[in-house]
Amino acid sequence: MPRLLRACVLAGGASRRMGADKALLPHPRGGTWIDNTVAMARALDLQVLVLSGHPRHREHLASRFPDLLVLPEPWPPAGPLQAFAAVFSARVDEAWLVLPIDLPYLTSPALETLLAAWREQEHVALVAHDGDRQQPLLGIYPGMACSHAALERQLGRGCHRWHDWLDQIPHRSFFLPPEQLLNANHPADLAALTDGEF
């Protein structure tokens, strides 16, 4: 029986390096970065929820996606893995497509290929790879008792590195073109994106 796949959009980052809230920046395709990420996930016919501790995100999304579920991150914020732990469970009948909001060149077709590859082995996490390194904030994570226990143990030790958790769970990598995984963190990245050079 296929697992129930849902999408979890990670939008709670502080955006310190950018100097502005990345989620609400104008996107070259129109709307904001968070709008585009939510729209891509919805184009896959998935139930989507957003994890964010920013009240402005909830207000912004309510005006554009009235039925969208927005959950607050655990307080105090401690990074994306801690946030994801709020929804990840040991249930073997579910899985989560995790999406960050700051991959401006990511496309729906790329996500469709990721999903198709994961369906071949639904019991194993599938993590995006750009040919140089893994990008674990873009991946599909099936619920499993061992993965859930590893996550709880790690967070209990105060370790919030996603790569450290990944090392403890069954997973495989899936190559996506590097340009799909370009991450925008600084104002210079934003300027290049606006100029079509990023």
Q: Residues 87-101: pLDDT tens digits?
A: 999 999 999 999 999
Question: In the prediction, which pLDDT does 194 show?
Answer: 54
Average pLDDT over residues 117-134: 97
Whole-angstrom CA distances from 25 to 33, 34, 103, 105, 115 are: 6, 8, 12, 14, 27
| Residues of the domain holding 79 | 4-194
Task: Using alpha carbons only, give the angle 183, 31, 25 rounded to the nearest 5 degrees.
Answer: 45
pLDDT > 50? residue 197: no
Mean per-residue pLDDT of the chain: 89
Q: Residues 165-186: pLDDT tens digits?
A: 999 999 999 999 998 998 876 5
Q: Residues 3-41: pLDDT tens digits?
A: 899 999 999 755 555 456 888 988 888 899 999 999 999
Please state the pTM of the whole predicted model. 0.91
Q: Are the CB atoms for 145 and 90 separated by under 8 Å? A: yes
What's the N-to-C CA distance of the chain in angstroms?
A: 42
Count of domains observed in the chain: 1
Query: How far apart, in whole angstroms, are the C-alpha atoms of residue 79 and residue 195?
Result: 30
Looking up residue 184, the CATH number of its domain turns out to be 3.90.550.10
